[in-house]
Amino acid sequence: MKNSVTKMNEKKPTQCFSFEVVMMVHVIADDEATAQVQLDEKGGIVTKREVKLLNSTILYGEKEKA
């Protein structure tokens, strides 16, 4: 049986970044129920966004040496 798995030789690291995002979004609609549906399906107008990096981790690849 031939082994078809090849070893990854990634030199450049691929990372996963986790962010906490707080947004103020406006939706123009006739009532709250319609606004909720529109927000879920299409989104709204973002007027404020605060982003905070929580953490990051290398998924695969090698970290460059300084």
Give per-residue pLDDT as tens, 7-39. Answer: 656 578 899 999 999 999 999 999 999 999 999
| 42-65 residue pLDDT tens | 999 999 999 999 999 999 876 666
As separate numbers, helices (DSSP H) first and strands (DSSP E) second, the chain gives 1, 2
Residue 43 Rama label (left phi>0; alpha psi -120 to 50; beta):
left
Helix (H, G, I), strand (E, B) or coil at 40: helix
Instruction: Tell me 64's DSSP state.
Output: P
Say what the pLDDT of residue 9 is: 61
pTM: 0.58
Q: Half-sphere exposure of 25 toward its Cβ, with a 13 Å CA cutoff?
A: 13
How far is Cα 11 from Cα 20, in angstroms, rounded to an integer? Answer: 29
Say what the pLDDT of residue 8 is: 59
Residue 23 has which token pair?
């947004």
